[in-house]
Amino acid sequence: FEEPTVRVTEEGKPVEFRYRLLKPLAVEPGHMVPLVLFLHGAGERGADNELQLKYLPTWLAEEGNRRKHPSFVVVPQCRAGHHWVDFNRSDLTSMPHKAEPTVDLAAAVAALDAVMQSEPVDPGRVYLTGISMGGYGSWDLAARMPERFAAMIPICGGGDAATAPRLRSIPILCFHGDADQIVPVAHSRAMVAAVKAAGGAVEYRELEGVKHDSWTPAYRDPATLDWLFRQKR
């Protein structure tokens, strides 16, 4: 993984964010390849630019996946004490969408933009996924920029059901464990129901007996990545 940096503004001052970038093993001249933007969970926050490589980024870096699914993988890191999106896990009915993204989510978008401007990324195959806190971030970011993503896999997160009409154009595959003791499964159920009611294309996999770590069975099922990389705008 390379270690580029981007800068965003916070309260009028520039703030530097490091992120990780995995490049394909090779790109043929004139060809473009997909990009995956991964938003990590709360346990991987910090400033070491390393913790966020747990789970999906590490698995996508395995040789088998790099050969089967060549792609750019963008892995920003949210700062300690901050969030991709401000939310209240205890509220089971409403999670109002803020007018502006958090600074850390804006940094993730800046990293995405930087890679798309400098690398041969297929703009019709840009994918968004995240776990837990990053699941909330995925719902939030997709609602802000639905035209940017060819597909989304939000895992054990939630969002503002009022934004569901904005998500109608994005194929969504959502996972949540029905025994999740950290993030209420009601949050995913509410978003899935709202997107379906709005006419969106969403598939929901509620994993029986699975607690908070629903991302391991989700991502480690080869069918999940196969589904993701089939999607095109």
Q: What is the structure's pLDDT at 90?
A: 63
For the segment 37-72, what is each residue's pLDDT rounded down to a tens digit? 999 999 999 999 999 999 999 999 999 999 999 999
Report pLDDT digits (tens) over 127-170: 999 999 999 999 999 999 999 999 999 999 999 999 999 999 99
Q: What's the pLDDT tens digit per position in 15-45?
A: 999 999 999 998 888 899 999 999 999 999 9
Give tens-digit pLDDT for 177-207: 999 999 999 999 999 999 999 999 999 999 9
DSSP string for 15-54: EEEEEEEEPPS---TT--EEEEEEE--GGG-SSSS-GGGT
pLDDT digits (tens, 9 = 90+) for 93-129: 566 778 899 999 999 999 999 999 999 999 999 999 9
CB 20 within 8 Å of CB 2 = yes
Question: Are 119 and 200 a contacting pair, CB within 8 Å?
Answer: no
pTM: 0.96
| Residue 212 pLDDT | 98
What is the Cα–Cα distance from 163 to 171, expressed in whole angstroms?
15
* pLDDT value of position 35: 98
Q: What pLDDT, on a 0 to 100 scale, did the predictor assign at position 9?
A: 95
219 vs 31, 75, 151, 172, CA distance in Å? 27, 16, 15, 14
CA torsion, ordered 210, 215, 217, 220, to nearest 10 deg: -170
pLDDT given at position 94 = 60
